Amino acid sequence: MAAFLKAASLLLLLLLVLFFDLVPADFNTVGGAYGSSPNSLAPGLKEILANPNTGTNDAGKKDAATPTKNLPGITFKAGPRPVDGSGARFFETSNIGMWKLVSRNSTVSAMHMNLLPNNKMIMFDAAAFHISQIKLPGGKCFPYTTDQGAAMEDCWAHGVEYDIETGNVRPLTMATDPWCSSGGLDVEGRLVNTGGWRDGTKTVRYITPCETCDFKDYPMALARPRWYSTQITMSDGGFLLVGGRRSYSVEFVPAEGKSNPRAIKLPFLDETTDLDENNLYPFVYLSTDGNVFIFANSRSILFDPKTHTVLHEYPVLEGGSRNYPASAMSALLPLKLPLVNPGSIPAEVIICGGAKPESYRLAEKGNFMPALIDCARLEITNPKDVWRKEQMPSPRVMGDLLILPTGDLLLLNGATTGTAAWNFAESPNYSPILYSPDKPQGQRFKQLVPTRIPRMYHSSSAVLPDGQILVAGSNTNAGYLFQAVKYPTELRVEKFSPPYLDPMYVAYRPAILAEELVLPWQYGKDYVVKFNLLIEGQFDQKNDIRVTMYPPPFTTHGYSMSQRLVVLANKQVAETGAGTYSATVVAPPSGIIAPPGFYMLFVVYRGIPSVGTWIQIK
């Protein structure tokens, strides 16, 4: 009887924890983000924004089974759950995730987002509207002149450093406008941000991870204007820029303080531009053969970055357009490295959603067409492959597609009708979708618990070291508008816990012994990753343990640039003590597979990831 009462008490505690985490009492309250804040609109800003000339539609611990401190809202141990040793990749769970509101006011709307290796998130918006909810430090202001000739001062910060643990923000200085720009982390963990609007269109910006660092701008570094361009990290740690509005070319980001004299023409980008463009923010990936896959609109090529030639054109992806403003979602599927390095490592791309080519024009007239509902996969290392399609549970445009530490993917944010651009979409898609690429077709999609906050145009998201997803932004307005609009400027920040954070499995979450890692890593060498883990029943080391590495991508407009998950070759897993194990893994063979820089390293036990530990490879 006593045992029964104890079990009943634990069950009641679990239900209470889940209730209060799933449904915060003030989840729907407007708080600081929606009130009539005194800094909502600066004097004269309404008149400026109303003028059409100011901008039109922009078309761990060592005790085994101890929960890690970052686990959201869970402080108890799960009861024993036998492992049958069948080699099944995942613990099966009916959990559909959990949302938690973590900040009511990020102070800037997160159009762009990138996590730094110091666990600070860089979030920034456009500077074009000269407004936010946080002032520049030290009373700093920038003079500017409106299109009507009025002399004004901009004293607002348009970027912040956001602490992912506390929610505290530190204002950053954007001296040139980074509106609809691109970016990525360099080898030393600095954010390198490129392009933007007006004075920012040829700019390269740098910010170093530190407590007081700020952006440093080089306004004329690029050869061509880069607005809505894509930036990817190359095998040497440098960056390639592809496209942008009316920039049918590519160029490599120059060394800091240098300038590019000219760009490299790429007619493919001109060929894929239609009446409404539908080829901006192209999907670009460094393939496992060292060449670059470029997808724009509905076509794709393999580009040689050394000879600047097109090596191959892939089949057309039928059904609609996939790039801005018909913004689909795309990712490179996890790269699985074998113990014996083969002649080639397969690389596969997935593209989900988007819109019909005419959707933008129709949305301009108030006719919001359904978004595309298909996902398509293509093995880009196989020149004879064709697109293979499957159907999502719901249509989606301008959503995000993130790779989780487990190798599954998460689709979230966006809408079910219309396209990207200001007020060109309706019907928010509130429900994330879990996509398991290794499952049989027909079993890959799982609909998860919906949020209550619309995340429309200019929203973004990022994978955190603790396995949660940070979600912020959404501003489909020309300015910071909080009243009398259907979708107010969104400053609330959420964290989403995927199903692998199911409380039933908290006791089986690995905990990496970070202090025992040898750093930095070098290509092709063996490394031992030690971790604590509770195992019940037979342990199938070949199939139960995965070690993965993930570089934090630069995310904007539904696309996470340079995103990839590398599944390391695992030589052996050995028990080294009570509840302590070591995995001997082989580092990636070269920067072609894992470009040099910082990665989050995860140990995954049957689909349950550890908290990520930062490593650097170079």
For 506-560, the pLDDT digits (tens) are 999 999 999 999 999 999 999 999 999 998 667 887 789 999 999 999 999 999 9
Distance CA 513, CA 527 (A): 13
Q: What percent of the chain has pLDDT over 70?
A: 85
String of DSSP letters for 457-481: TTEEEEE-TTS-EEEEE---SSS--
- The pLDDT value recorded for residue 147 is 86
In terms of Cα–Cα distance, which of 170, 98, 136, 69 is closest to 499? 98
CB-based contacts of 212, cutoff 8 Å, min separation 6: none
Copy the structure tokens of residue 271: 């060929």
Give the chain's mean pLDDT.
Answer: 88
Distance CA 158, CA 129 (A): 9
Three-state SS at 95: coil
More confident residue, 116 or 89: 116
In terms of Cα–Cα distance, which of 238, 142, 128, 226 is closest to 187? 238
369-397 mean pLDDT: 98
Is the pLDDT confidence value at 45 over 80? no
136-143 mean pLDDT: 93
Count each helix (H run) and each strand (E run) in the chain, helices first: 6, 44
7-19 mean pLDDT: 42
Q: Phi and psi (nearest 5°) for 516?
A: -100, 5
Is the pLDDT confidence value at 63 over 60? no
According to DSSP H, which parts of 105-245 are helical? Answer: none
Q: For 288-320, how does the pLDDT look when each residue is reduced to its tens digit (9 = 90+)? A: 999 999 999 999 999 999 999 999 999 999 999
Is the pLDDT confidence value at 65 over 70? no
Q: How confident is the model at residue 341 (pLDDT cuts 50, 70, 90)?
A: confident
Asked whether 371 and 362 are in contact (CB, 8 A), the reply is no
- The pLDDT value recorded for residue 540 is 84
Question: Which residue ranges form the domains of the chain, and what is each CATH number?
Answer: 32-335+347-501 (2.130.10.80)
